[in-house]
Each structure stands twice: as C-alpha cells, then as structure tokens.
C-alpha cells in the first residue's frame, strides 16, 4: 500500500506541475483571442464613429440617440445595434485591460469573468505551451504543491475513516 501511495503521490505531483505550467500558455492564447475580438469590434464600430465625427461633433452617444429617436423601425434598430456594439467594445476593453496584468491577477480575473464561449474556442485551438517565466514557474510549483497537499490530506482522512470503520467492525 505504501508503494502505491508513493507512486500516486509522485505521479500526481508531476502531473500537477505540468498542468500548472500549461495554464499561463492557455491564458496567453485566451488573451490573444480576446484581443482579436476587441480589434474586430473596434473595426465594426469605426464607420459609426466616422458618422458621429461628421454629423454629431464626434459624439457617438448623440448618433445613437438620433437613431433611437427615429420613428423609422430600421433606423431605430440600427441605433440599438450601435449601442450594443459600443457596450461590447467597452466590455472587451475592460477584459483585455484586466488580462494585461500579472499572472496571478489574470487567474483571479478569469476565475470570475471567463467567457465560456471564448474559453471553449481557445481550448479547441489551444497549443500546449509551458511557461518558462518566473511567474509561470512559481505558479506551476504552487499549483503542484497545493494539489499535493490536498492529496495528502485526503489520503490521511480516508485512512483515518478506514481505521475507524475497522475498529467499529471489531466491536
């Protein structure tokens, strides 16, 4: 039993270190895909900004209100689309800015703000890369240590439960 625990222990530690080292590469590829979405949204918004510059003193909000105030349903719908595009650009810009920080801040941000569709798309095209930066190595080691400690805690709890169960059976 001790041999099996030792083997599982070492394999888990190795797998956790490798997995932890791959996380920064995934985040980098996620950030690049997110940046591409922002670039596309900005390109889609550019003609509307040009119209706002020409007819509304550069005020995109005025252009949107002009469209929304129209009685023409198509024109009104365009206003809603422009407004949605502006909101998307703002949301994407916040996410891009949040991911241009330290690795630990990126992980914290993504733990609560990950776009599931974007994460799936990134994972489909993901090319595993191992981070060799100081942050990447520290994260890999911290991740491995955390999983290793969890493994040991669970192993001891299961062992304790088995011992208590055996003691009860003897009575």
Kindly write down the DSSP assignment for every residue of 30-91, as one continuous string.
HHHHHHHHHHHHHHHHHHHHHHHHHHSTT-HHHHHHHHHH-SSHHHHHHHHHHHHHHHHHHH
Average pLDDT over residues 57-74: 93
Which residue do the tokens 């198509």 mark? 74
- Is residue 38 within 8 A of residue 96, CB to CB? The reply is yes
The average confidence (pLDDT) of the chain is 92
Residue 86 pLDDT: 97
Average pLDDT over residues 123-140: 90
CA dist 17 and 59 (Å) reads 51
Average pLDDT over residues 124-137: 89
User: How far are the Cα atoms of 47, 60, 150 from residue 57, in angstroms, in the given order?
Assistant: 15, 9, 60
Residue 131 pLDDT: 78
Q: How confident is the model at residue 6 (pLDDT cuts 50, 70, 90)?
A: confident
- Is residue 110 within 8 A of residue 30, CB to CB? The reply is yes
Supply the Cα-derived Rg of the chain in whole angstroms: 26
The 10s digit of each residue's pLDDT in 28-45 is 999 999 999 999 999 999
Average pLDDT over residues 59-86: 93
CA dist 8 and 21 (Å) reads 20
Percentage above 70 pLDDT, the chain:
99
Query: Which of 142, 140, 158 has the alpha carbon at shortest distance from 4?
Result: 158
Residue 171 scores a pLDDT above 70? no
Residue 143 pLDDT: 93
Say if residue 166 is exposed, middle or buried (CB neighbours under 10 Å; 0-12, 13-18, 19+).
exposed
Residue 24 scores a pLDDT above 90? yes
């Amino acid at each position: 039993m001790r041999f099996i625990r030792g083997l599982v222990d070492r394999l888990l530690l190795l797998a956790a270190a490798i997995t932890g080292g791959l996380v920064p590469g995934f985040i980098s590829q996620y950030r690049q895909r997110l940046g591409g979405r922002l670039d596309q949204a900005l390109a889609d918004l550019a003609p509307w900004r040009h119209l706002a510059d020409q007819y509304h003193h550069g005020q995109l909000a005025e252009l949107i209100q002009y469209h929304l105030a129209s009685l023409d349903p198509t024109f009104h719908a365009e206003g809603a689309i422009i407004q949605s595009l502006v909101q998307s650009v703002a949301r994407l810009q916040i996410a891009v800015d949040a991911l241009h920080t330290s690795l630990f801040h990126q992980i914290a941000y993504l733990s609560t703000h990950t776009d599931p569709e974007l994460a799936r798309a990134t994972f489909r095209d993901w090319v595993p890369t191992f981070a060799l930066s100081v942050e990447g190595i520290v994260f890999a080691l911290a991740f491995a240590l955390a999983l290793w400690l969890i493994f040991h805690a669970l192993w001891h709890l299961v062992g304790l439960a088995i011992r208590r169960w055996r003691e009860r059976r003897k009575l």
